[in-house]
Chains A and B, each alone.
Chain A
Amino acid sequence: MKLKDEIIVRKIANETIALFVGDERADLTSALFLNPTAEFIFDVLKKETDKDTLVSLVCEHFGTDRTDTEADLDIFLANLSEKGFLI
């Protein structure tokens, strides 16, 4: 899986947002605000990555438990998929 090419990540003031930019239009009112963990995940997902690799990278970077991380990532990735951010 990876982020769609139409997704851009930008800084606004001191926050990071992810935005879907369509052929014609970009809707800032539906931008996602990313916390540091989400920002890290978005950075990894710029390239094709499988879930196991992503879990390992998150655990390594944040020093988190693998089981908990996997459960949290399942929810997060399902959310991204639902919003149409992933391919």
Chain B
Amino acid sequence: MNNNRMCSYSMSEIFPLIEELINIDKQVVITARGNSMRPFLRDRIDRLILAKPCDAVQKGDVLLYEKPEGVFVLHRVVSEDEDGTFTFMGDCQNNKDVGVTADMIKAKLVGFFRGAKEISTDNPRYKKFVNFWIKSRIVRRIYVGIFHRLKTR
């Protein structure tokens, strides 16, 4: 097992393999990278379970999408907009990413590992917490502020 070594590759380098596997209906486990999805997903600690995005996109889903410039982002859907595109935002961010189209969406987070414990995104407690997180703008802003302040120290 060599988590750190796999982490040294960018998502654009490992995505062809992820795509190959999800296209044959396999779930794919990778290590989380970046802090934009804290507190749910911790950089290089939690392991993500990705799958092919089969269902209709819903608010609260965490999806992997590819921006036109080739950058891959795993963020949460915060709204479906009138023009049929989606707005995404990291759980540890206050800035939104608008205009994400359905064809830019490449994979869906269906669960994650916290240590050895596997948590499905269908888990009722997880859903409750996600719901709270999306709605609680003040709590979220305080958390994001504290987290970024601690990070820059």
Give the nearest-CB partner of B3 in chain A.
A29
Which one of A20-28, A47-55, A60-68, A71-79 is at the B interface? A20-28
CB distance from B55 to the nearest CB of A (A): 18
Q: Describe B's contact surface by its main secondary structure.
A: mixed
Is the pair A28, B30 in contact by a Cβ cutoff of 8 Å?
yes
Per-residue interface assignment for chain A, residues 29 to 42, with 1 indicating a CB less than 8 Å from any chain B CB and 0 otherwise: 11111000000000
Provide the residues of chain B in CB contact with A31, threshold 8 Å.
2, 6
Q: Quick one: closest A residue to B8, CB to CB? A: A13
Give chain B nearest CB distance to A82 CB in angstroms.
Answer: 12
Give Cα A13–Cα B1 distance, bound, in whole angstroms.
19
Chain A, residue nearest B49 (CB): A25
Residue-by-residue, is B30-49 near A (CB-CB < 8 Å gives 1, otherwise 0)?
11000000000000000101
**CB–CB B21/A30 < 8 A:** no
Residues of A within 8 Å of B13, CB to CB, are 12-13
Which residue of chain A is the closest to B26 with respect to CB atoms? A26
- Per the bound structure, the CA–CA distance linking A38 and B75 in Å amounts to 37
Is the C-beta of B28 less than 8 angstroms from some C-beta in chain A? yes
A26 adjacent to B6 (CB under 8 Å) = no
Q: Which of A7-24 contact B (CB under 8 A)?
A: 10, 12-13, 19, 21-22, 24
Bound CA–CA A29/B28 (angstroms):
9
Residue of A at shortest CB range from B5? A33
Q: Contacts A10-B17, A12-B14 given: A26-B27 contact, CB under 8 Å?
A: yes
Q: Which residues does chain A contribute within 8 Å of B29, judged by CB atoms?
A: 25-29
A10–B17 alpha-carbon span in the complex (Å): 8
Query: Which residues of the other chain, B, contact A19 by a CB distance below 8 angstroms?
Result: 17
A29 touches B1 (CB 8 A): yes
Among A13, A22, A25, A27, which residue has its beta carbon within 8 angstroms of that of B9? Answer: A13
- 9 A-B pairs closest in CB distance: A27-B29, A25-B27, A30-B1, A13-B13, A28-B30, A29-B3, A26-B21, A26-B26, A29-B31
12 pairs from A and B in contact (CB 8 Å cutoff):
A10-B20, A12-B13, A19-B17, A21-B26, A24-B26, A25-B29, A26-B26, A26-B29, A28-B30, A29-B47, A30-B1, A32-B2
